[in-house]
Amino acid sequence: MHRRELLKTALLLPLISACSRSGAGQNSNSTQSPTKEASANMSFTPLNKSKKEWQEILEPDRYQILFKAGTERSGSSPLDKVYDEGAYVCAACKLPLFSSDDKFDSGTGWPSFTKPIIEENIGKTTDYKLIYPRTEYHCARCGGHQGHVFKDGPEPRGERWCNNGLAINFIAKGDDLPELVS
């Protein structure tokens, strides 16, 4: 009897350890790109730079989008058709905003994502520039306008984050994320 129980334990042990290994695998971020992991660990405080300061730093077309809430012409950004692995950072302060994992072809001519890389990196307001209200979103660190989020995106979230290509920079997987602008 005692011996049989020992035998049973011996048979079960490899199974138990195999289960715990696979469990640990599911909880890790092993499927995410290193860039995404680096972004998740990046903490920040809001940056208080005046529009005048940004105007001196940024190219005029980027400034117009980011700090005058402009919209670039549809199809004008090469980033619309970029599907390489990597991260998209704010073109002003360099905070990571989106991951290539969440990019999709919306057919609108603007780079489109299903969700932000980290929710905390995005701020939202309601924009009444058109007849109907729209949800404007911006970089939570510098306040730079990025685009609008619509509720006609793919499942499961059903969101389409429609971003100006001039408001972001693409950082390929394997490349270092740029230092945050201070």
Catalytic sites, residue numbers: 162
138 binding Zn ion? (CB under 5 A): no
Q: Per-residue contact track with Zn ion, 34 to 73, x per CB under 5 A?
A: ----------------------------------------
Nearer to Zn ion, 23 or 91 (CB): 91
141 binding Zn ion? (CB under 5 A): yes
- Cβ-contact 141, 182 below 8 angstroms: no
Choices 17-25, 28-36, 110-118, 144-152 (CB under 5 A): range interacting with Zn ion: 144-152
Token representation of residue 35: 């860039």
Q: In what order do the strands lie in the sheet with 112-113?
A: 103-104, 112-113, 160-163, 145-150, 134-139, 122-127
d(CA 119, CA 25): 24
CA angle in degrees (0–180, nearest 5) for 93-137-143: 35
Minimal distance in Å, beta carbon 164 to Zn ion?
Answer: 13
Minimal distance in Å, beta carbon 92 to Zn ion?
Answer: 5
92 binding Zn ion? (CB under 5 A): yes
- For 126, phi then psi, to 5°, come to -100, 130
- Per CB under 5 A, residues contacting Zn ion are 90, 92-93, 95, 139, 141-142, 144
